[in-house]
Amino acid sequence: MRVLVIGSGAREHALLLALAKDPQVSALSIAPGNAGTARVAEQHTVDITSSDEVVALARHVQADLVVIGPEVPLVLGVADAVRAAGIVCFGPSKDAARIEGSKAFAKEVMAAAGVRTASSEIVDTPAHLDAALDRFGPPAGDPAWVVKDDHLAAGKGVVVTPNRDAARAHAASLLESGHPVLLESFLDGPEVSLFCVVDGQTVVPLLAAQDFKRVGDGDTGPNTGGMGAYAPLPWLPDDIYRQVVTDMVKPVAAELVRRGCPFSGLLYVGLAITAKGPAVVEFNCRFGDPETQAVLALLDSPLGQLLYAAGTGQLADFGELRWRNGAAVTVVLAAENYPGRPRVGDVVTGADAEGVLHAGTARRDDGAVVSSGGRVLSVVGTGADLAEARAQAYGILSSIKLPGSHFRSDIGLRAAQGEISVS
């Protein structure tokens, strides 16, 4: 099987490494990729938001399967174009990708499917902002305001704050730049990312993971695309995991079928495990980054065959997934000033070591790896438990040098110390 992966992050690097282990995968290509993915796959330059360019490349590399990593091409309908060209694609149609691309659509689907989620309101004009802010956050009953960009914002458009002025300023700046604002009630409790491979009504859940969205230790500072993750979650009871699949993901998949836009690809449910049980924070239409780096490090089943089965409507026959015992932790090394405008062009050393996945990197003519984005690397450690996996990840990280870079030192720490519990 010849596989073309679309994307350039550490998520796509992790996908390539897992695909390379599948005995049925004979050739790997990627577009546009990065300095790390060039070592595992044939690298191509295309505009990944252009259906024509992606289809032309898929034909050129004679792909049997195209795997689309990021949400933007999916929301734009690139998967539809690949399928229309007669090539198997792992990734939802433009219509189904609205589960991530349109928060209003996602809320509508969840309501129809009876799925518990935060109450919300969309504000599209500054004149309505103050009254709407009064209906959310303190003193309305929530400990904080949750203000989201209603456009795709790579995780960075969210502000959660108990400070009304800060909430208002973020909402006003989004409205000024022409983006509607989504105000939501605050969902308290540990967060879970659960990825499910979905083909119509068939849902195959992967290991649950937890993402760390704030830039600083102890969940401080602004939101990012994700600073680290670990899997599985020793504190998440099996019955809650099963409840999420049965009462949340399956009804949403069925509702999308009912609406004539069946989902085929990776349905990612982000949850908060509140005192009243799990509630959905968001659905995404693709693998999460950086959780994928931890989850796929533990997958034993052949990933190429799994994604091909979903893309060809044969997921129901795939059988149970197999996982390695133990735990995986991934820690993101970010460039100076990320999540603001990152400093780029610095030389990174130690980035070719095992367990190092690349994201914002490029290879200079002299062979040096240089930073080219905010999240530069994702370092993955595995071990018999979270403590071992953390030790391995941070050990690898200590041998990497990038001027001005930063990372969180507490990825998976509270879980490793048994400090997370749900009732």
Taking the least distance from each CB to ligand GLY, the nearer of 64 and 291 is 291
- Residue number of the CB closest to ligand GLY reads 288
Taking the least distance from each CB to ligand GLY, the nearer of 155 and 157 is 155
- E strands, 18-127, are 27-32, 42-43, 65-68, 88-90, 120-123
Taking the least distance from each CB to ligand GLY, the nearer of 212 and 318 is 212
The count of residues in the chain is 423
Segment (H or E) for 395:
helix 386-397
What distance in Å separates the CA atoms of residue 29 and residue 338, rounded to the nearest whole number?
29
CB of 50 to ligand GLY, least distance (A): 23
CB of 61 to ligand GLY, least distance (A): 26
**Closest C-alpha to 255, from 272, 275, 280:** 280
CB of 289 to ligand GLY, least distance (A): 5
**Structure tokens, 315:** 């997921």
CB of 167 to ligand GLY, least distance (A): 21
Taking the least distance from each CB to ligand GLY, the nearer of 22 and 291 is 291
Taking the least distance from each CB to ligand GLY, the nearer of 195 and 308 is 195
3-state secondary structure of 31: strand
**Closest C-alpha to 198, from 73, 313, 115, 121:** 313
Taking the least distance from each CB to ligand GLY, the nearer of 34 and 330 is 330
Cβ partners under 8 Å of residue 377, min gap 6 = 10, 36, 332, 333, 348, 351, 356, 357, 358, 359, 361, 400, 402
Answer whether 303's CB lies under 8 Å from 292's CB: no
Q: At what angle do helices 10-20 and 303-311 cross, to 10 degrees?
A: 100
Instruction: Give phi and psi for 34, each to the nearest 5.
Output: -155, -170
Taking the least distance from each CB to ligand GLY, the nearer of 80 and 291 is 291
CB of 62 to ligand GLY, least distance (A): 30
Residue type at 325 in one-letter notation: N
What distance in Å separates the CA atoms of residue 63 and residue 27, rounded to the nearest whole number?
9
Taking the least distance from each CB to ligand GLY, the nearer of 226 and 360 is 226
CB of 155 to ligand GLY, least distance (A): 5
CB of 56 to ligand GLY, least distance (A): 28
CB of 312 to ligand GLY, least distance (A): 26
Taking the least distance from each CB to ligand GLY, the nearer of 264 and 284 is 284
Answer whether 394's CB lies under 8 Å from 412's CB: no
CB of 278 to ligand GLY, least distance (A): 17
Taking the least distance from each CB to ligand GLY, the nearer of 193 and 361 is 193
Q: Residues in the site for ligand GLY, rule: CB under 6 A?
A: 155, 211, 226, 284, 288-289, 291
Judged on CB neighbours under 10 Å (0-12, 13-18, 19+), 169 is middle
3-state secondary structure of 73: helix
What distance in Å separates the CA atoms of residue 38 and residue 125, rounded to the nearest whole number?
46
CB of 196 to ligand GLY, least distance (A): 14
Long-range CB contacts (within 8 A, 24+) of 16-22: 16/40, 16/41, 17/296, 17/357, 18/296, 18/299, 18/303, 19/67, 19/303, 19/304, 21/302, 21/303, 22/302, 22/303, 22/304, 22/305
